[in-house]
Amino acid sequence: MKQIDGGLCAPKGFRAGGVWCGIRKKNDKRDLALIVSDRLCTAAGMYTTNKVKAASVLVTREHLASGRCQAVICNSGNANACTGEAGLDAARRMARAAAAALSIDPALVAVGSTGVIGVPLPVEKVEAAMPDLVSALSADYKGHAAALEAIMTTDTRKKEIALEIELDGKTVRIGAIAKGAGMIHPNMATMLSFITTDAAIAPALLDSALRLAVSRSFNRVTVDGDTSTNDMVVILANGMAENAPIEKDDANYLRFCAALEQVCINLARAIARDGEGATRLVSCTVSGAGDEKTAETLAKAIVGSSLVKAACFGADANWGRILCAMGYSGADFEPETVSVRFRSKAGEVLVCKGGASIPFSEDLAKAVLSEEEIDILVDLEQAGAASATCWGCDLTYDYVKINGDYRS
């Protein structure tokens, strides 16, 4: 497994691009993206668990039910959520506009939207921009970068990756982008992620690979406890690597799953690090559990705790808040056996043993927690072999500033 350049366009047969179409008030940032495969793709998607779903989610879920797709169109600046029948019509018009420009069936187009909820989408601006958007498509990093910029909202960092692996002597590549900084909470988040691969893989196996990867990545991220109306992860596989098609749960499938999981974990960590107003990435690993679900539940509770997040912002080794979060998580564990460590580039410090306080250096703990990336290591010490890692960020004054006037 090797990380490479190129992003979405690293796999063979994919082009991408982005333009400003006028959904955003200012033209200093693109707001409309298009991703296209030269061939029909096997496709899979996962969507928000919020009962209130954006029009783009409803339309894309309908289109991807066939397991086939060839293009993705996505706008930023407007979520097209809580917009009624007009919103559904707008999402379908986006698909039709892209399909007409690419000479493909509208049912082969996935639609994404992100931005302010409850505002009608000016879809006519999307339709008018299609000639320029198609002209902007390219099969190099420039096209990838333009598409990535076009889906970003309050993001301050790029979330992109490409990997390549070998399957039966053939080079297979996976490229991906994501957006997300606020309204982030499992399952999935206010996040969009679009993934391309030139692997040849059966639809059912692509779907199962995506579900596994998402469960161990995006579904383990939390920034602020809010699950969005627009969450979406879509993967397109066009088979142009010409590997022997993956049609069963064999070594090649497991290798592909491992690569896809690594892609999603990379993006999930980037989303957590770019949490609105955040200054630190906080990773929590719970080990010594009887099963992975228990470890995940505990780790999610810890990184999702507002008090733990605030303590990380202040570089305060207030480990009692960690045990408190574990206690209300609903997971079964023995508090009397728990140990807690903080780790970063500045070192590592044990602050709790047997569920109780122990002497430790406050100066070392302060230094450890002052780094940009912090690991909270919790060992249940219950003879279990299962573990799980979840990701979050600190809670700062700027989070309130950003979200206090989001619409303006």
Q: Which residues are catalytic?
A: 190
Residue 142: partners with Cβ closer than 8 Å, 6 or more residues away: none
How far apart are alpha carbons 21 and 259 in whole angstroms? 35
Residue 100: partners with Cβ closer than 8 Å, 6 or more residues away: 130
Would you state the structure tokens that stand for residue 4, as one six-digit string?
């490479």
Would you state the structure tokens that stand for residue 102, as one six-digit string?
């690419």
How far apart are alpha carbons 44 and 47 in whole angstroms? 10
How far apart are alpha carbons 32 and 14 in whole angstroms? 17
Q: How many CB atoms lie within 10 A of CB 152?
A: 25
